[in-house]
A and B are shown apart, each in its own frame.
Chain A
Amino acid sequence: MIDKIVPTPEAAVEGIRDGATVLVGGFGTAGMPFALLDALIAQGATDLTIVSNNAGNGDAGLAALIAARRVRKVICSFPRQHDSWHFDRQYRAGEIELEVVPQGNLAERIRAAGAGIGAFFTPTGYGTLLAEGKETRTIDGRDYVLEYPIRADVALIKARAGDRHGNLVYAKTARNFGPIMASAAALTIAQVSEVVPLGALDPECVVTPGIFVSRVVVAHEATPPSW
C-alpha cells in the first residue's frame, strides 16, 4: 500500500542533510511552505543552497531560515524586495552567496531537471550580464544561451489538497513553482491544507501526479499577504 501521508511537518523534513540543495516553492508568500520551513529550522540542517523565486519576505518562512543562518547560497530571480532585509543584510556583509537567474530560465532549469533534459538553449538573457561566459548558439537566425538544469536533493512545496498517493491540486497563483519543483528533487515534500481520500481528486484535474511527490503533510496556516 502506498501512503505518503506523514503525521507532522517535523516528520516530513526528516533526513534533510547539511549542504543540501533545497527547492522552495512560492512567489512572495503565495505558495511558500511556511510549516515545512519552520520544521526545517527546528530540524537544524545548515549550509543549504536554496532555490526559490525570491530571497525571503519579512521574518517568516524562507526569511526565517536565512535569519537563522542556515543558508549558504541563494539561487533566485528576484532577491531584492522591500521586505527582504534578512537576505539583504547577509548579502551586503558577504555572508551569503547569490546567483541571479531570469525567472523563466529559473523555471525552465527546474523543469529540465525534472524532465531529464541535459541542457537547453534559451533566448532569455542573451547579450546581457547574466549570460556572460556562457555558451551561445545561433539557431535559425535567433541567438540563444546554453543553460543547465537545477537538480535538487529536496523540494518543499505547498498545495491546497493532496491524497495518500501524493496527487496534488493547488490554490490559484500559489501554484507557481510547485509542479515543476515537485519533479526536480530526489525528495519532494508537500504541505497541503487538506488531505482527501484516494479517488476524491478528479483525475482530469490533478495538477501534480503523485509519482513526483514523496511525502504529504497537513498544515493549517493562513498565508500572510505579500503586499
Chain B
Amino acid sequence: MNKLDRDAMAARVARDIPDGAYVNLGIGLPTLVADHLPEGREIVLHTENGLLGMGPRPAAGHEDPELINAGKRPVTTLPGASFFHHADSFAMMRGGHLDICVLGAFEVSVGGDLANWHTGKPDAIPAVGGAMDLAIGAKRVFVLMEALTKEGRPKLVRECAYPLTGRACVSRVYTDLATFDLRPDGVVARDLVEGLDIDALRRLVDLDLRAG
C-alpha cells in the first residue's frame, strides 16, 4: 500500500476547500494545506491572532515580528486583508462565520469528539491556546492526521482516551490511508490509497466502516 506523504495529505484537504471559503488552518500539519490550494479559487485564510487574508511566508529578510500567524511564524498579507483584535477574531469562530477549520489531532472519535490539546501526562504543562475555540468554531471542522500512531495504534477511535478538546465537533478526517466521513449513522471511508481495500482498512483501524 502507498501511504500518502504529508504534502499529498494536505493536497487532499485543499482540493475540498471551495472557492470563496473563509478557512482557518491549525498549527502543524494543517498549515501545509495553504501550499496546495487549487489555482483559480479565492480562499481567505484566517489566523486567530488577528488577521484575515493571510499570505505566504515572506522572502528571507522581509520578515516582520509584528506580522505573524498563530504559530508565531512570519507571514504576509494579501490584497483585501484585515487586522482585528482577539475578541473579534474569536467571534468569527464562535459565531460560526468561518466555513472550514482544519486541525491536527491526537485522537478523533467516531462520534466526532476531538482530542488535540493535552496528552494528560502528569508532568505535562497544560496549554490550550485556541484549540477549544477552533474545535467548535467553524461551520465544518476537518481533522488532518496520520491514521495510525508510530506504534501502529489507530487514532480514529470509538472513544477518545486523551482529554477532549471538543465534543461531537469533527465531521471529516483526512489521513494518509483514506478519508473518513463521520456521519450520524456511522463512518464512511473513501479515497483509500492505492493497494488498500476496505477490509484491510477495517482491520488496520479496528472499526466498522462503510465504503463511500
Contacts and interface: CB of A to CB of B under 8 A. Distances in A.
Q: Do A and B come from one complex?
A: yes
A208 B17 CA distance: 35
A223 B65 contact: yes
A108 to B, nearest CB: 6
B90 A107 contact: yes
Interface stretch (A4-12, A14-22, A74-82, A196-204): A74-82
Contacts of B164: 127-129
B83 A175 contact: yes
B206 interface: no
Interface-centre pick from B65, B85, B86 (highest chain A CB count, 10 A): B86
Interface residues of A, number: 54
Interface string A112-155: 00000000001111111110000000000001000000000000
Contact of A122 (B83, B85, B86, B94): B94
Contacts, number: 156
Contacts of A103: 48, 86, 90, 128-130, 133
A180 B84 CA distance: 11
A92 B77 CA distance: 39
Contacts of A165: none
Contacts of B93: 104
A176 B85 contact: yes
Interface string A85-106: 0001001100000101111111
Residue from B50, B63, B65, B130 having most chain A Cβ neighbours under 10 A = B65
Given A88-B125, A103-B128, A129-B163, A31 B86 contact: no
A223 B66 contact: yes
A30 B65 contact: yes
A138 B123 CA distance: 34
Given A78-B129, A102-B130, A28 B72 contact: yes
20 contacts: A77-B128, A77-B129, A79-B125, A92-B123, A104-B90, A107-B89, A108-B90, A124-B137, A129-B163, A170-B83, A172-B64, A174-B66, A175-B50, A175-B85, A176-B50, A179-B87, A180-B86, A223-B66, A226-B73, A227-B68
Interface of B: 47-51, 63-68, 72-74, 77, 83-87, 89-90, 93-94, 118, 123-133, 136-137, 163-167
Given A30-B68, A81-B127, A225-B63, 10 more contacts: A103-B128, A105-B132, A126-B167, A129-B164, A130-B132, A172-B51, A173-B83, A176-B49, A223-B65, A225-B74
Interface of A: 27-31, 53, 77-81, 88, 91-92, 98, 100-108, 110-111, 122-130, 143, 170-180, 207, 222-227
